[in-house]
């Protein structure tokens, strides 16, 4: 009985420590990036490029609500004169799944000239997208558009890569998957911390452009 009580005690202590660690890393990311995140177009500093991070697309190429809000927000910043061009970066894992082409098609249908769009088909995750944007595509001054829960990790990675990036929130509605994504984000923070500490190279260093 005593042995069982000790096991339960150690389990509870371990669980509490893990929770504190998860919340601690999240707090560090938020604290270090708070001044880089903007929610009002009028207060956002101008930048050369708006970076749109990929998210899921449907089988017919239609953007998911989360991705549509990111692209629409980027267009709004362009129309307000806050950015001059676009870098879309996402997962093009196969011929049957292409986040980047879906974003490019959407932008062009909204009247954005093809000459203003650069496409990175190898932005397989947030770290790869930030690394490739700065180191391979030479984007040294940008505003990154994604949802608020995603921005602290994104900008923390960018700052550790010495990139002069700000962030703008793309939240325009409540998302059915938001709770799950927020929980996933807490775990993804550890992956990001590990990547920046190791100075990881992206999955591919090839330039694959539209």
CATH number of 2-198: 3.40.50.620
Distance CA(196)–CA(4), nearest Å, equals 40
Q: Provide the residue-wise pLDDT of the chain in tens; the chain has 210 residues.
A: 677 666 666 666 666 666 666 666 677 888 889 999 999 999 999 999 999 999 888 888 899 999 999 999 999 999 999 999 999 999 887 777 889 999 999 999 999 999 999 999 999 899 999 999 999 999 999 999 999 999 999 999 999 999 999 999 998 877 777 778 778 878 888 788 889 888 888 877 666 544
Q: What is the pLDDT of residues 119-128, one digit of tens each?
A: 999 998 999 9
- Find tokens 């050369």 and name the residue: 48
The pTM (predicted TM-score) of the whole model is 0.86
Alpha-carbon gap, residue 152 to 43, rounded angstroms: 18
| Residue among 69, 64, 70 at smallest CA distance from 86 | 70
Q: How is the chain split into domains, by residue range?
A: 2-198
- Give the CA diameter of the chain: 72
129-149 tens-digit pLDDT: 999 999 999 999 999 999 999
Half-sphere exposure of 15 (CA within 13 A, CB side): 6
Provide the token pair at 97: 């799944």
The CA-to-CA distance between both ends of the chain, in Å, stands at 65
């Amino acid at each position: 009985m005593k042995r069982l009580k000790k096991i339960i005690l150690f389990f509870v202590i371990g669980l509490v420590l893990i929770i504190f660690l998860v919340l601690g890393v999240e707090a560090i990311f938020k604290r270090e990036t708070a001044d880089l995140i903007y929610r009002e177009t009028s207060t956002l500093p101008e930048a050369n490029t708006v970076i749109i991070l990929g998210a899921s697309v449907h089988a017919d190429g239609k953007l998911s609500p989360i991705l549509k809000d990111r692209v629409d927000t980027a267009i709004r910043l362009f129309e307000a004169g806050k950015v001059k061009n676009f870098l879309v970066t996402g997962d093009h894992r196969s011929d049957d799944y292409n986040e980047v082409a879906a974003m490019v098609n959407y932008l062009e249908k909204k009247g954005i000239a093809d000459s203003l769009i650069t496409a990175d088909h190898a932005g397989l995750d947030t770290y790869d997208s930030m690394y490739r944007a700065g180191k391979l595509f030479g984007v040294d001054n940008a505003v990154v558009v994604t949802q608020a829960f995603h921005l602290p990790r994104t900008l923390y990675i960018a700052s550790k890569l010495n990139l002069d990036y700000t962030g703008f929130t793309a939240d325009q509605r409540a998302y059915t998957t938001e709770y799950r994504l927020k929980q996933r984000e807490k775990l993804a923070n550890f992956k990001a911390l590990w990547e920046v500490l190791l100075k990881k190279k992206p999955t591919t260093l090839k330039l694959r452009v539209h």
